[in-house]
Structure 1
Amino acid sequence: MLISKWFGLFLILAVSFTIRYGYYGNSNLVLGPNTSRLLKASSVFVEQVQVKDDAKKGLFLYGFGEKPKLSLETKWNASKYLVVGIYRRKGFSLWLNKGSRISLAWVVHATEFNGLSVVLIKGEQNYVTVQPLKHTNSVVPSNPSDGNGKAEYLIEEDDSYYVSVLNMNLQSIIITMNLNVSSIMYDTTKATNKCSTLNGLCRFKLAFPKNHFVILTTPNNGDLDGWYIELSFLARLVTYVAILGLVVIVVSLALRYFGACSDGESSSEEIMPETENDPLLPEKEISVTYGTGDKDAELGVCSSSEDLYDGKICVICFDLPRNCFIVPCGHCATCYECALRVLNGENKVCPICRRFIHKVRKMFTIEKQG
């Protein structure tokens, strides 16, 4: 029982380290033009940072020993045509830092125009619709079949943002989306490491044992088709091996400690040392009492040899007399030495009834007077 508990604790710790390792696992990131995204890594657990860009769009990776300042402002604009099916959603993703502003303007081209939903959604996992600062939607007087609209947003949190266009018409539509973005960027002039993905892959090592900050930046090329990159934190395996080894040592010492305590408890239960002056005399009328005389409920009563067994010799060694009994079953079929060997062995069960042995008690005999 004790071993299973400690094994469960060790398993929990192992899972915890696995989760920690998973935190620094591979991540597929979606970026956009003029992105400046900050990530943090501990060099105790991470040896290298690696970025893979199969499209070779020219993303840059910067490394810092201290957190850089979010102090630069860059303005850029882009346009995109979207063909949106009936009751379908389309859009594109951007990474925007706190303090950035984004203005959307769109024109819908359709023979029949009933309605359109254009929203900005925040989050990579938990999606939240961002409320615009300004929002207008009207029909162009010169061409009633076309519609336009505008919306402006203030970014209050560093996160991934998705410009979503939902077509609620009974036919597919073509929409022209124009963006004007004032993006807040990190200052990369004091970077200690730098590499580019123009060849598809870049990496650099982290100096041990400091925390490091990593900046991902993309150029301003107006490409809104999506920047799909794979970011990898290559683990410092020596750290994980050392931690798991330490856990194994602690668990082993704990098991030894509790094992020693269990042995000490068994030893403390030994009552009255065996003497050579207390032989079993079958020719005399005797009564059997137990070493402590305590009337503990867990102490069974040793039955007479006529009721349980034939003879008074240990059923294990067939040499020494039976001079002990087993708690809790109460069987007295062995000598004290054999009973201790069973108790200290792997199979701690009574040789008669196979119940688990808690304690071994010696017994002695008292001759009746008169």
Structure 2
Amino acid sequence: MGRSIGGGYDPGAASACGPSSRSELFGADVNDLPRRRGSMDEAGRQSYYESYWDRSYASNQRSWSTEQDHRRREGLQAGYGFFAAFAFLSFFLSMWMLFGLYGNQHLEMGMFYARVVKANSIFVKEVKINFKEKGPVAYMFLNRPELGPSVSDKKIVEDIVVDPRWHKRFTYWLNSGSYLEVSCSLKASGTGTDSLIVAIVKGEDGFQDWKGDPSNPSLALRWKRVHEKGVLSLKVEEDDDYCIVFGNLNNRKITFSFMLDLRYVLYSKDNSDFVCSSQLTDVCEFPVALGQSTYVLLTSPVVDMQGVKIWYTKLSYIPRWITYIFFWGLVAVGLLFTRAFELRHVRSQVPLSQEHAPTVPEDASHYPAQASAYSLLQADETNSEKASVHENRHCTICLDAPKDSFFDPCGHRCTCYSCGMRIRGDSNRCPICRQTIRTVRRIYDA
């Protein structure tokens, strides 16, 4: 609620309108002003009306020009916003390529490990492999290697203890066509109501999903609740890590044993273009030629080597920085070009030329009912020497009716409404600027 300012009424104080005075306008006494009663009223009012028509026409032109400029400005802002969003998306994609898709990877290679990695020559300049133990061998191919024969392996693990509300996980890298089967048996408990959840999930993401809700079968490739004995099997369709997880949802510990039957499908090592063994060096570097795909095959031994069953390896991709610099440069040029075009458009805007200039000062009243006698006198004295202006208020075609219309979109006001409609029907072009007429709008203040 706004602040209200008021005061007490003093009967003895003089006021503009009080019981002891007559009502009159604040300001100069109109009776004291020199007036020409014969010509002031009519000539002054005519001058005022004509200036009011001119201001109405100028207002029409300014309104149309403002609307057009607003539309252009919105279009430029939309274009700049699009490039800004595209720049943000490009930056996010670049970071994902550098630290996600082609980021450093730490691999745990078990026996019968055979994994193919592909390097895109546009974004990767070199593939680098660091071996921490002796045994693994890396092969480079220009074409993707083919799958070779399968190798079978069986493992028996006994007396595994799982704490309440906990799990055990075993991860294996399996190629397409591989097969695994797990047989699980629980040791007898005193209650006989204990159960064990056995599931097969794909990759780290699949394991995290299963971990959030172990009792949901839809979150695993294979899922089974085992009370005494149970069997799960899976045929692999895609190269990836596959996890065998055992979940204990009971309030007491569970002891179980399982047998794992694995049939590995390995990649063929024939026709390799380059071989690098960890027996000879700890670091293998494979250059990637631009425009040519490169495949690297990582393999582990198929027998125990001095008791080592897991080999730790670091896989790194050296980025091709020229690609990222070129891509970021294109985005920066697009942003600068859009911004420069917007600034150029703003600087190039100039006021439209007017057909008529105002015939009264800008501080004059805009409405006849609010015009004081003093302002009418000023308008009469200012325009008394410009009688030719009165002739310009008539239509330039018929020279009879007033200019009570203007052309849209150019905004020129030079004819009456009837002549304007006739021009639109004949040539449909403004007689001043020759612009196509969209419509003729009538001015009702004429």
TM-score, normalisation: structure 1: 0.61
1:119 shift after superposition: 2.6
- Structure 2 residue 321 is matched with structure 1 residue 303: no
Report the equivalent of 2:291: 209
Partner of 2:271: 190
1:45 offset after TM fit, Å? 0.8
Q: CA deviation at 1:262?
A: 4.2
- Going from structure 1 to structure 2, the CA distance change for 1:206 and 1:58 (only over 3 Å counts) comes to same
| Pair 1:118-2:198 in alignment | yes
Corresponding residue for 1:369? 387
Distance apart, 1:42 and its partner CA:
0.7
Query: Tell me, which stretches of 5 or more residues in structure 2 are unaligned?
Result: 1-72, 208-218, 365-382, 389-446
Determine the C-alpha separation between the residues in 1 that align with 2:308 and 2:250.
25
How far off its partner does 1:102 sit?
1.3
The amino acid of 2:126's aligned partner reads Q
- The residue type paired with residue 235 of structure 1 is P
Q: Summarize the Cα distance change of 1:233–1:83 in structure 2 as closer, same or farther, 3 Å threshold.
A: same
1:183 counterpart letter in structure 2? Y
Distance 2:141 2:131 in 1: 21
Give yes or no for contact 2:195–2:225 (8 Å, CA) kept in 1.
no
Specify which of 255, 260, 267 is matched with residue 339 of structure 2. 255
Aligned residue in 2 for 1:100: 178
Shift of 1:178: 2.9
More displaced 10-residue stretch of structure 1: 219-228 or 194-203: 219-228
- Give the one of 137, 149, 153 matched to 2:234: 153
> Residue 245 and residue 168 in structure 1: after superposition, are their counterparts in 2 closer, same or farther (change >3 A)?
closer
Query: How far apart are 1:154 and its partner, in Å?
Result: 1.8
1:185-211 deviation digits (Å, cap 9, x = unpaired): 222222223334456543322122222
Q: How does 1:226-305 map to 2 (within 5 A)?
A: 229-264=313-348, 266-267=349-350, 269-271=351-353, 291-293=354-356, 303-304=362-363
Inter-CA distance 168–14: structure 2 relative to 1 (3 Å threshold):
closer
Between the aligned partners of 1:68 and 1:228, the Cα distance in structure 2 is: 23
Gaps of 5+ in 1: 139-146, 272-290, 296-300, 306-364
CA distance in structure 1 between the partners assigned to 2:322 and 2:165 by the alignment: 53
Please name the residue that 2:408 is paired with.
none
The aligned amino acid for 2:362 is: S
Instruction: Tell me if the contact between 1:31 and 1:93 (Cα under 8 Å) persists in the aligned partners.
Output: no
Report the structure, 1 or 2, having the larger helix content. 2
Deviates more, 1:26-35 or 1:45-54: 26-35
- The question of whether the paired residues in 1 share the 8 Å contact of 2:206 and 2:220 is answered with no
Q: Which residue of 2 aligns with 1:39?
A: 117
User: 1:93·1:226 contact (CA, 8 Å) conserved in 2?
Assistant: no
**Which residue identity does 2:201 align to in structure 1?**
I
For the residue of structure 1 that corresponds to 2:220, the secondary structure is strand
Per mean C-alpha deviation after superposition, the further-off stretch among 33-42 and 225-234 is 225-234
Partners of 2:385 and 2:298 in 1: CA distance: 93
AA matched with 1:154: K
Q: Report if aligned partners of 2:198, 2:225 keep a CA contact under 8 Å in 1.
A: no
Match for residue 74 of structure 1 among 147, 151, 158: 151
Alpha-carbon contact 2:138-2:275 (below 8 Å) kept: yes
Give the drift of 1:89.
0.9
Cα distance in 2 for residues equivalent to 1:50 and 1:36: 17
Go from structure 1 to structure 2 and tell me whether the alpha carbon gap of 1:201 and 1:118 turns closer, same or farther (over 3 Å shift): farther
| Structure-1 separation of matches of 2:300 and 2:384 | 96
Letter in 2 for 1:165: F
Cross-structure match for 2:98: 21
Structure 1 CA distance for aligned equivalents of residues 341 and 326 of structure 2: 22
Q: Compared with structure 1, are the counterparts of its residues 241 and 126 closer, same or farther at alpha carbon in structure 2 (3 Å cutoff)?
A: same
Q: Does structure 2 retain, via aligned residues, the 8 Å contact 1:49–1:204?
A: yes
Please state how far the C-alpha of 1:243 moved relative to its aligned partner.
Answer: 2.0
Q: Is the 8 A contact 1:92 1:225 kept in 2?
A: no
Query: Rg bigger for which structure?
Result: 2
Q: CA deviation at 1:65?
A: 1.5
Q: Could you list the per-position Cα deviations for residues 93-151 of structure 1 after superposition, in whole angstroms to 9, with x for gaps in the alignment?
A: 0111222111223455566564333332223213442338xx9979xxxxxxxx65544
3-state DSSP of counterpart to 1:86: coil
SS at match of 2:301: coil
Indicate which of 133, 136, 141 corresponds to 1:59.
136
Instruction: Kindly state the Cα deviation for residue 68 of structure 1 after the two structures are TM-superposed.
Output: 1.7
State the distance in 2 between where 1:293 and 1:169 align. 93
Q: CA deviation at 1:294?
A: 10
Following TM superposition, by how much is the alpha carbon of 1:33 offset from its aligned partner in structure 2, in angstroms?
2.4
Q: Is the 8 A contact 1:47 1:206 kept in 2?
A: yes
Find the counterpart in structure 2 of residue 334 from structure 1.
none
Separation in structure 1 between the aligned mates of residue 312 and residue 90 of structure 2, nearest angstrom: 34
SS of the counterpart of 1:19? helix
Two-structure CA RMSD over aligned residues (Å): 3.9
What are the superposed Cα offsets for residues 256-293 of structure 1, whole Å, 9 maximum, x if unpaired?
344444444x25x452xxxxxxxxxxxxxxxxxxx245
8 Å CA contact retained: 1:120, 1:164: yes
Aligned residue number for residue 285 of structure 1: none
Aligned counterpart, 2:220: 129
- In the superposition, relative to structure 1, how do residues 263 and 160 fare at CA in structure 2: closer, same or farther (>3 Å)? same
- Give the structure with the higher percent strand: 1
- Give, in whole Å, the separation in 1 of the partners of 2:312 and 2:253: 27
Distance 1:224 1:366 in 2: 113
